[in-house]
A and B are shown apart, each in its own frame.
Chain A
Amino acid sequence: MSDSTDGVRAYTVRLELVDRPGELLRALEPIANQGGNLLSIFHERGNLTPRGHIPVEVDLEANTEQFDEIVSALREEGINVIQAGAERYSEEIVIILVGHLVDTDLSHTLSRLQEETGSTVRDFSLSAPEGDSGESSARLRLATQSGQVEDVLGTVRDVAGEKDLRVVEPLAGGEA
């Protein structure tokens, strides 16, 4: 049994890049080499750091071991890592909501979830095969603060409970 998917979570890394061609690619290579999964890159070309560098925000998925390797590989490459992991949103939770999602005002549900859990909905998919009035399912990717997963899930359960929605939670501490 492979252990490679154990403890995989999302990390945000802030880097400072020198403004020269190929620099971004050089910064991304260690992530791929260590088996990390690149989620998004925010390349703020217009902005410059006080030192005249370009700030780049990279979201990636990796397990703890891989993440440590990635950060040290970046530093070995001479890439300035400003912040790694200890970011505001450092854990991701995927949940599925089931029930009369559309009837119970989906956008209200989503905004309540964001407000009351203090997390951000990173990704959202709805499947409503029976149309607006039937039962549907939605998959949400929530970005939350590290160590807050249990609290967030508790709040999700409460909000969903009020609207008679079922929550399929991820398996914490397991392989999820």
Chain B
Amino acid sequence: MPDLPDPSDTSPDRATLDVRNREDEVDRLRSTLEEVLVRHGYSSASVFAVRLAMEEAVSNAFRHGHAQCPEDPIHVEFVVDSSRVTVSVEDRGRGFDPGAVPDPTHDENLDKPSGRGLLLIRAYMSDMRFNDRGNRVEMEYRRPGRG
């Protein structure tokens, strides 16, 4: 199905959520984002891409950022309009250096069970950047064909 704009709704949708590492809260985040993407006419491939990237960022935030504070919520913001989606995920951890993460596609790393989240975010999103501290990732998805 092609990416077609919904002419009845071109205004951006915004959400700011504090999410704890609980299945129901993360499910609510997933469904909220998915509903907004569908409302703006994004294709199933686009929804799959944005959802996967958000999933990986949230998982990294809880697993690494909040290893010492598992009860604390992470902070998620997203803005969706007819041409782009931005999602940011911030944790309360010390941050990390994304450049220090080994390439999981190298032969010697293929059978390692972790370290693929950033690769998938880079592959599915148009842009990804971290703040200096490394505890906040901002991802942008540009709708195909919209430059």
Check if A and B associate: no
